[in-house]
Structure 1
C-alpha cells in the first residue's frame, strides 16, 4: 500500500502534527469504516451519518493541531468519543431519534463486497443485515447505544463508561441486557 501503513496510530499522529498530511490520510483510511459504522448505527440515517462523519474528522484535525490529543495509544476510542458527542449534539438540536432502518457496512462487509458472490448469497446477506437492523431498532436506546459502542466501535467497558458518562458497571449491565434482549428476539 504505502510506507505509512505499517506505522502505529501514534506514529501517524506524530507525523501528521509534524506536517505530513499523508500520515493523516492513512490514519483516516485505517479507521473510517469502523467509525462510520458506529455513527450510522447510532443515528440510523446514512446521509446524516456522512455529515457527522465529516464533522468528526474536522474536530479531530482541530484537536490534533491544537495539541488536545494525549498520547494514550487509543486513537479509535478517542475518535469514537468525539463521534458519540457529535451524535448527541445533533439529537439535542433535533430533539428526537430518527426511525430509519439501519444500513451499515463494516470492514468485513466492505472486503466481501469486492468479492464476487452468487445472487443467492447477496440476497441472504441483505436479508440478514435487514434483520439485524430491525433487531437493533427493537432495543431500548441506551442498550442499543452501549451495544454499538462495544461491538461495532470496539470500545472497552471503561471507554464506554467514559464516553457516555456512566459507571463501568452500568456499561456492563447495558451491554448484558442488550444481548439478553437480542437473544429473546432470536428465539
Structure 2
C-alpha cells in the first residue's frame, strides 16, 4: 500500500488537517508544470524562483485560512495564482511583454472564456440526469461506494471507515458497481463517448 498515490483533494484535506508532508507531496507532484509555466512567461530563473515561492506562500495562506474552494481542481487553481503573480510582476515593473500576433502567439490564447455555454450546460444536465438514473439501478451499498469514490474523491480506507466495512468489502462493492453498470449500459444499448 506504500505505493498508493493519494489524489490532490485528499492531500489538500490532509494538509489542512495538519499533515505538513501532504503539502510537500503536492509541491513535488506539480512543481515542474508550475515552474515551467512561470519560466515560460518571465524567462528568468531568479524571477521564476521568486514567483514560484510566492505562489506557494499564497497557496499555504489560503489553505491555512480554510478559504480554499474545492469546486475546481488543485493544479488549475495553483496555475491561476501563478498566472496572477506573473501579471502582477509585469504591472509593477510596467513591462508587460509585447508580442506581435504570430501563429505561435495570439492574444486570444490569453483571453479564453471558460464559462459554460447554455448548450454545454444543457448537455451536462442531461448526462447527469441519465447517469443518476443508471446509478439508481444499482444496489444501495454499491451505489454508495461508487458515489463516495467517484464524486467525493474518497480513498477506499475512508469509504471503509465511513460505511463501517472492511477495505476489501468496499473494494468489492466498487468492483460489483462497475460490473453492474456495464451490464445496465449493455442491456440498454447506451453508447458512451468521452
TM-score norm. by structure 1 comes to 0.53
**Deviation >4 Å, runs of 4+:** 2-5, 143-146
Q: Contact 1:56–1:83 (CA<8 Å) still a contact in 2? A: yes
Which SS does the other structure have where 1:70 is aligned? Answer: coil
1:139 maps to 2:115:
no
- Larger relative contact order (C-alpha < 8 A, sep ≥ 6)? 1
- In the alignment, what sits opposite 1:36? 35
1:64 maps to 2:63:
yes
CA RMSD of superposed structures (Å)? 3.0
* Unpaired runs of at least 5, structure 2: 118-194
Give the number of aligned pairs. 115
Select between 57-66 and 70-79 the one with higher mean Cα deviation. Answer: 70-79
- In the alignment, what sits opposite 1:10? 9
* Unpaired runs of at least 5, structure 1: 100-135, 147-159, 170-187
Q: Contact 1:35–1:80 (CA<8 Å) still a contact in 2? A: yes
Matches within 5 A, 1:40-55: 40-55=39-54
Q: Distance in 2 between matches of 1:92 and 1:76?
A: 24
Q: Distance in 2 between matches of 1:45 and 1:168?
A: 35
Note closer, same or farther for the CA distance 1:60–1:143 as it changes in structure 2 (3 Å cut). Answer: same
Note closer, same or farther for the CA distance 1:5–1:93 as it changes in structure 2 (3 Å cut). Answer: farther
Q: CA deviation at 1:75?
A: 0.5
Note closer, same or farther for the CA distance 1:87–1:4 as it changes in structure 2 (3 Å cut). Answer: farther
Structure with the largest fraction of helix: 1
Q: CA deviation at 1:145?
A: 4.7
Note closer, same or farther for the CA distance 1:4–1:22 as it changes in structure 2 (3 Å cut). Answer: farther
Q: Contact 1:10–1:73 (CA<8 Å) still a contact in 2? A: no
Structure of higher CA gyration radius:
2
TM-score norm. by structure 2 comes to 0.51
